[in-house]
Amino acid sequence: MKQRLRHLHGRWLTSAPRGQFWTYFSAAIFFNLGFSITFFLFNLYLINCGMTERSLGLIGSLVGIGSLIGTLPAGIIAQRYGLARTLTTAVTAAIICNALRVWIIAPPMQYAAALLTGMAMSCWTVSMGPAVAGFTTEEQRPFAFSLTFASGIGVTGLGGFIAGRLPAWLQALQTGTPISTTQAMRESLLLACAVVILSLPLFMRLKLRTGAPKKKLAHLSNPFLRRFLPAMAVWGLVTGSFPPFANVYFVHHLGVSLQRMGTIFSLSQALQFAAVLVAPLLFRRAGLTFGVMLTQLATALTLGVLAMLHTVGGALVIYCTYMAMQNISEPGIFSLLMDQTPESERNSASSYMFFVSAGVQVIASASIGAGIVRFGYPAMLAVLAILAVIAAVFFQRIAHQPLATSNLKSPALTPQPIRLAELNTSEIQALHNPQC
C-alpha cells in the first residue's frame, strides 16, 4: 500500500503542471466563483423584480444566441490577438453587462445585455482548452484538465453555498434602515461582479505562444461528425433546459428557503464532483458509447421521477442524482468525439460541438420558459425525460470507427481531450489528494 501511494505521489510530481498554468488556474477560481454566485441568484432576483419564467426563458435564449454568435469567431480572435488580451476584454465586457443587468431591470436592457453577455462568455468557453494545453506539456495535460474541471465544480458549489446566505448576511450587517430581500440580492450580485474583477490582473499576466491565425473552420467531411452533431443537439435540449430554472423550481414551486436552496446547490455540486471521479470506471467497463447511453437513460429516469414528486426531500435527492448523471456523461461524450476525429479536425470538431450546444440552448431556454408558464413544471420535466431517452438511442447508434494511431498523436500545443477513461477512480482521487 505504501509503495502504491509512493508511486502515485511520484506520478503526481511529474504530471503536476507548473508555471503560468497556476496563474490561469487562480484567475479561473475568481471567475468561476463570481459567476456561480450570479448564476444562482440572478433568476431569483428577476422573479422578485416581477418577471415571469417566460421572460427568464427569453433572456436565457438571448444569452444562448450571444454564445452562438461568438463561439465560432472566438477561437480566431484568441489566435490573432493573444489569450491575455482576449480573455481580459471578454471578462471585462461580461462584468459590465452583468452589472447593467442588475441595475437596470427594463426588458430592453435585459435583452441587450443578455446577448452581449453570451458573446463575451463564449470567449471564455472556447479559450479554456487552448489555455490549459498551452501552459502544460503532453504529460501534464490530462492531470491539468482534470484539475481544472474538478476545481470548477467545487468552486461552483462553494459559490452556491455563499449565494444562498449572502443576502441574509448583508441584511444582518445593515445598521440603518433594513433592506429588502430584493435589495440584498442586488448588492450580492454586484459583489459577485467584484469577485470576477479580481481575475483580471491575473488574466493580463498570461503569455501564450500561438500559431498562425486560423481564418476558417474545416468542412463537415467526417461521417462520424455528421452523426454525432444531431445526437448532441438532442442531448443539448435536455442539458440546457431545466438547470437554469432549478432554483426557481425549488424556491417558488416547492417553497424552499433561499438559504436551504444554497445548501441544495452545494450538495448537488459535491455529487457532480464525485460523479466526475467515478466516470473513468464506468467508461472503462461499459465503453464510451454504451456508457454515455447508460448515463442518459439514468438522466431520463431521474427527470421522470422528479416530474411525479411533490415533496421537498424526495425532490432534493432526485435532483442531485439527476445533475450527477447528466454531468457524468460529459467526459465520455468529449472523449468519444476526440477519439473518433482525426487530429487535424479536432479543433473544428470542438467548435462545431460548442456551436450546436449554443444553438439548441436558445431553443431550450425559450421553450422551457414558455412551457412552464402554460403547462407547469411536471409536464415539462416529463418531456425532457422523453428527449433524454431519444438522445440515448441516437448515441447508441453512432458507429464506432477507430482511427489510425497517427491521428491520435497530438503536438505539445494542441488542446487535448480529458482522457479520464485512462485513469481508474483511486488514481484520480490520489492525484487530487496527494497528502492522503
Helix (H) or strand (E) holding 271: helix 258-286
Nearest residue to 380 via CA among 248, 228, 231: 248
Nearest residue to 358 via CA among 73, 40, 161, 2: 73
Greater model confidence, 270 or 35: 35
Whole-number pLDDT of residue 428 = 38
Region 259-285: what's the mean pLDDT? 78
Task: Tell me how far the alpha carbon of residue 407 is from its chain's centroid.
Answer: 28
pLDDT in tens, 60-108: 888 888 888 887 777 677 767 777 788 888 899 999 999 999 999 888 8
**270 — pLDDT class (breaks 50, 70, 90):** confident
Residue 16 lies inside a defined structural domain of this protein: yes
Region 210-238: what's the mean pLDDT? 72
Place of cell 492525484: 431
Q: Give Cβ neighbours of residue 319 (< 8 Å, ≥ 6 apart).
A: 246, 250, 264, 268, 302, 306
Q: Are 57 and 368 in contact (CB under 8 A)?
A: yes
Whole-number pLDDT of residue 356 = 85
Whole-number pLDDT of residue 221 = 66
Q: Which of 101-105, 257-261, 311-315, 419-423 has the lowest mean pLDDT?
A: 419-423
Greater model confidence, 10 or 163: 163
Nearest residue to 64 via CA among 289, 369, 331: 369
Which amino acid, one-letter code, is at 176?
A: G
Give the highest mean pLDDT range of 87-96, 148-157, 242-251: 87-96
pTM of the model: 0.64
Whole-number pLDDT of residue 172 = 87
Greater model confidence, 164 or 130: 164
Residue 409 lies inside a defined structural domain of this protein: no
Residue 316 lies inside a defined structural domain of this protein: yes
Whole-number pLDDT of residue 84 = 79
Whole-number pLDDT of residue 297 = 94
**406 — pLDDT class (breaks 50, 70, 90):** very low
Residue 398 lies inside a defined structural domain of this protein: yes
Is a pLDDT exceeding 90 seen at residue 332?
Answer: no
Region 352-364: what's the mean pLDDT? 80
pLDDT in tens, 175-202: 777 888 899 999 999 999 999 999 999 9
Nearest residue to 280 via CA among 241, 331, 327, 229: 331
Q: Give Cβ neighbours of residue 213 (< 8 Å, ≥ 6 apart).
A: 76, 79, 80
Q: Are 240 and 64 in contact (CB under 8 A)?
A: yes
Is a pLDDT exceeding 70 seen at residue 273?
Answer: yes
Residue 266 lies inside a defined structural domain of this protein: yes
User: Total structural domains in the chain?
Assistant: 1
Characterise 376 by phi-psi region: left (phi > 0), alpha (psi -120 to 50), beta (else): left
Instruction: Look up the domain containing 330 and give its range.
Output: 2-402+416-432
**421 — pLDDT class (breaks 50, 70, 90):** very low
Region 247-275: what's the mean pLDDT? 80
**373 — pLDDT class (breaks 50, 70, 90):** confident
- The greatest distance separating any two alpha carbons of the chain, rounded to the nearest whole angstrom, comes to 70
pLDDT in tens, 303-326: 999 999 888 888 888 988 998 888
Residue 51 lies inside a defined structural domain of this protein: yes
Whole-number pLDDT of residue 63 = 87
Whole-number pLDDT of residue 186 = 93
What CATH number is attached to the domain comprising 7?
Answer: 1.20.1250.20
Residue 407 lies inside a defined structural domain of this protein: no
Whole-number pLDDT of residue 206 = 82
Residue 154 lies inside a defined structural domain of this protein: yes
Whole-number pLDDT of residue 326 = 87
Strands (E), 153-309: none
**9 — pLDDT class (breaks 50, 70, 90):** very low
Q: For the beta carbon of residue 117, count every other beta carbon within 10 angstroms.
A: 25
